[in-house]
Amino acid sequence: MPPVDLDIDVHEQTTRLDLPELVRQLIAHLGPTLVATLADVRDRKLPYKWANPEGATPRPESQQKLLAAHRIWAMISGAEGDNVARAWFIGANPRLGEEAPVIRLREGQIKAVLQAAKAFVEGVDD
């Protein structure tokens, strides 16, 4: 079982990253298409522009989703590894009504996805 402070530690790490670095990490681990999907943008090249310090800036709603996605990715990959974290984002999730977490993030259901990720990492049933 992970330490009780895992969620807080991951939140602090994510919060301290500048947005271009956060997006670079998401692209490296999830890929640009998945990052664009969860941020609810159609252009899969847009995440590369966000990753450039002198590039475009995502809308505030997209920024919230990107921050949550990074936090979730860091939590799951830290406990289970990168491959499991990526699979978790794209697979049907029973805690989310059999929808993929990436879809729920795109829809703005950040709290539900965070709760599902925490339950997954902690290995607890609802």
- Three-class SS state of 34: helix
pLDDT band at 3 (very low <50, low <70, confident <90, very high): very low
pLDDT of 9 reads 81
Number of helices (H) and strands (E), helices first, in the chain? 8, 0
Bridge partners of 99? Answer: 93
pLDDT band at 11 (very low <50, low <70, confident <90, very high): confident
Domains of the chain: which residue ranges?
A: 6-122
The token pair that represents 73 in the structure block: 């990715």
Give 30-70 pLDDT, tens digit per residue: 999 999 999 999 999 999 999 999 999 999 999 999 999 99
Q: What is the pTM of this model?
A: 0.90
Q: Is the pLDDT of residue 26 over 50?
A: yes
